[in-house]
A = this chain, B = another copy of it.
Amino acid sequence: MDKKRVTLEEIFSPRGVAVVGASEVSLEGKVSFGGLVALGLVMAGFPAVYPVNPKFEKLLDLPCYPDLLSIPGPVDHVVVTIPAEGSLDLLDQCAAKGVRSVHFFTAGFGESGEEDRADLERAMLERARSGNFRIIGPNCVGLYVPKSRVVNAPNAPLEPGSIAFVSQSGGHAQNLPPFGASRGLRYSKVVSYGNALDVDECELLDYLTEDPETEIIAAYIEGVRDGRRFIDSLARAARRKPVIVYKGGRTEAGRRAAFGHTASMTSSVAVFEAACRQVNAIQVDNTDEMIDVLAALRFMRGIPAGPNAAVVGGGGGPSVLASDDMEIEGLRVPRLSSAVQEELRSRLPLAGSIFTNPVDTNNMVVPDVISFTMRTVGRSPDIDMIVYHMGFHPIGSWGLGRFSTPAFLESAVEAILGAQEEIGKPVLMVLRPPQDLEGMKEYLAVQEALVQAGLPVFLSLRDMARAVRRIIAWKGRTRTRG
């Protein structure tokens, strides 16, 4: 065979996508994953979506085809949502149609634990080799490539970005982008690869290491077949770009779930963690932490030189809580020098204020007070970063509804940016989300303004502190190695 193997680069920009097994999306009874995938592609504006299902003549206002070969235009990518039993016949059609890649949304293969399903997987892989196309999955949600308008579900964000996410889990691949969207996280490529029959985590990491569109790589891994090869790929990637790894199956119950999920024999957590440390990947414990680390890496104005934070924001009790949360998670809240305290005291009201660090002053929502306070504490040589925390809730103890005035919000954001610029140290914003709709409206408006201004936003002090502590440790190891 002298045919060149299809590359991932080719897979990521298909001319036409067929969705085999698409049917009507309805609120009753069974979920049509195929219908949802087709709907997602249409909503994303992908220009050549071909539903395939002999039961329908039209679907989502598109012509629906009885089989792959009836499709008039070129089909580079096929999404499969029919039961596993029909896989081999379908792959024969794929070869005849000359596709580049076949993504099996369908589950019920090797991960089911049934021996005949493992045999089926082997036969599928042979079909792919001889037909010169690649298989993604099975048992996953496949591709999300915003630049190409290829999505893994309806309503996926369409703006491309510089983060790549390689995920053995489809759920995490679908969840990470929307959950981080309001915090400004955007993606170059997200690939859910499930059982990793053909395209696996190593090939993906190798590709992303060289991909000029990707600046940060995140990975969710349940298990790997070839540990040595994986560590080599991870090491190469981590030398070039920040790599964040979340290893699923850290507990006995988690390992059992991972086996049922993708047939992964998850390796020992200790071995995996040691390997990640060795190659200097950033490890996280769950997808929320992954989003926090991504937000910090993507938006922090440089990495803090050390763990010492000045904490500013509103409320005495919240300041006590902030101090405890920060220090419990490994950052430090050092006492400000007497000189800095005196300077704060000279301009801010005494009553109801705390100046030692945290700094609590009632008017920390007024631009002048923001500006003065942040510049004063930020100039202190004992401080590596400023953390600005604020609560949002219907009683309005913080903000008092001020930030619903666009002009006020704009000047507050400008004050924060100006202070960050002057002191040359990162500012981290912690906005505790409210639990009511009115509050959420104001919250999202504030969050959007901060993100647009290029500031990292976190949902809790603990989450922020944990993420920043991990990044400082990672940077320290990077420096040590030169």
Interface residues of A (CB under 8 A from B): 25, 27, 29-31, 36, 83-84, 106-108, 112, 139, 152-156, 167-175, 177-183, 220, 222, 248-254, 256-258, 260-262, 285-288, 314-328, 332-335, 350-358, 360, 362-363, 366, 391, 393-397, 400-402, 405, 408, 433-437, 439-441, 444, 460, 462
Among B322, B356, B394, B408, the residue within 8 A (CB) of A155 is: B394
- Name the distance in Å between A274's Cβ and chain B's nearest Cβ: 18
Interface pairs (6), CB distance under 8 Å: A171-B315, A171-B316, A174-B393, A175-B393, A248-B317, A256-B357
For A139, A316, A325, A357, the residue with the greatest tally of chain B CB atoms inside 10 Å of its CB is A316
| CB nearest neighbor in B for A365 | B31
Whether B260 pairs with A153 at a CB distance below 8 angstroms is no
List chain B residues, Cβ under 8 A from A170. Answer: 315-317
List chain B residues, Cβ under 8 A from A178. Answer: 393-395, 434-436, 439
Among B252, B327, B332, the residue within 8 A (CB) of A327 is: B252
If A112-B350, A318-B172 touch, whether A248 touches B324 (CB-CB below 8 Å) is yes
Whether B253 pairs with A333 at a CB distance below 8 angstroms is yes
Whether A350 pairs with B108 at a CB distance below 8 angstroms is yes
List chain B residues, Cβ under 8 A from A253. Answer: 323-324, 326-327, 332-334, 357-358
In the complex the two chains form, what is the Cα distance from A433 to B178 in whole Å? Answer: 12
Whether A366 pairs with B29 at a CB distance below 8 angstroms is yes
If A178-B435, A351-B112 touch, whether A320 touches B395 (CB-CB below 8 Å) is no
Whether B352 pairs with A107 at a CB distance below 8 angstroms is yes
Whether A286 pairs with B249 at a CB distance below 8 angstroms is no
List chain B residues, Cβ under 8 A from A320. Answer: 169, 222, 248-249, 254, 257-258, 261
Whether B435 pairs with A181 at a CB distance below 8 angstroms is yes
Whether A315 pairs with B251 at a CB distance below 8 angstroms is no
In the complex the two chains form, what is the Cα distance from A437 to B442 in whole Å? Answer: 10
List chain B residues, Cβ under 8 A from A258. Answer: 320
In the complex the two chains form, what is the Cα distance from A260 to B353 in whole Å? Answer: 8
In the complex the two chains form, what is the Cα distance from A441 to B441 in whole Å? Answer: 11
If A315-B170, A436-B178 touch, whether A249 touches B444 (CB-CB below 8 Å) is no
List chain B residues, Cβ under 8 A from A287. Answer: 321
- Name the distance in Å between A209's Cβ and chain B's nearest Cβ: 24
Whether B363 pairs with A405 at a CB distance below 8 angstroms is no
In the complex the two chains form, what is the Cα distance from A401 to B402 in whole Å? Answer: 33
If A27-B408, A171-B315 touch, whether A351 touches B107 (CB-CB below 8 Å) is yes
| CB nearest neighbor in B for A29 | B366
Whether B444 pairs with A397 at a CB distance below 8 angstroms is no
In the complex the two chains form, what is the Cα distance from A83 to B351 in whole Å? Answer: 8
In the complex the two chains form, what is the Cα distance from A278 to B266 in whole Å? Answer: 42
Whether A435 pairs with B257 at a CB distance below 8 angstroms is no
Among B172, B174, B334, B436, the residue within 8 A (CB) of A444 is: B436
For A139, A354, A395, A439, the residue with the greatest tally of chain B CB atoms inside 10 Å of its CB is A395
| CB nearest neighbor in B for A259 | B356
Whether B436 pairs with A433 at a CB distance below 8 angstroms is no
Whether B315 pairs with A351 at a CB distance below 8 angstroms is no
In the complex the two chains form, what is the Cα distance from A327 to B256 in whole Å? Answer: 12
Whether B31 pairs with A335 at a CB distance below 8 angstroms is no
8 nearest CB pairs, A to B: A169-B317, A108-B351, A171-B315, A261-B316, A107-B352, A260-B354, A253-B333, A253-B323
In the complex the two chains form, what is the Cα distance from A333 to B357 in whole Å? Answer: 42
List chain B residues, Cβ under 8 A from A152. Answer: 395
Among B286, B354, B460, B462, the residue within 8 A (CB) of A261 is: B354
In the complex the two chains form, what is the Cα distance from A183 to B439 in whole Å? Answer: 15
- Name the distance in Å between A381's Cβ and chain B's nearest Cβ: 18
In the complex the two chains form, what is the Cα distance from A436 to B156 in whole Å? Answer: 12
In the complex the two chains form, what is the Cα distance from A206 to B61 in whole Å? Answer: 69
- Name the distance in Å between A286's Cβ and chain B's nearest Cβ: 6
- Name the distance in Å between A87's Cβ and chain B's nearest Cβ: 12
Whether B250 pairs with A324 at a CB distance below 8 angstroms is yes
Whether A167 pairs with B27 at a CB distance below 8 angstroms is no
In the complex the two chains form, what is the Cα distance from A363 to B363 in whole Å? Answer: 51
Whether B174 pairs with A397 at a CB distance below 8 angstroms is yes
| CB nearest neighbor in B for A109 | B351
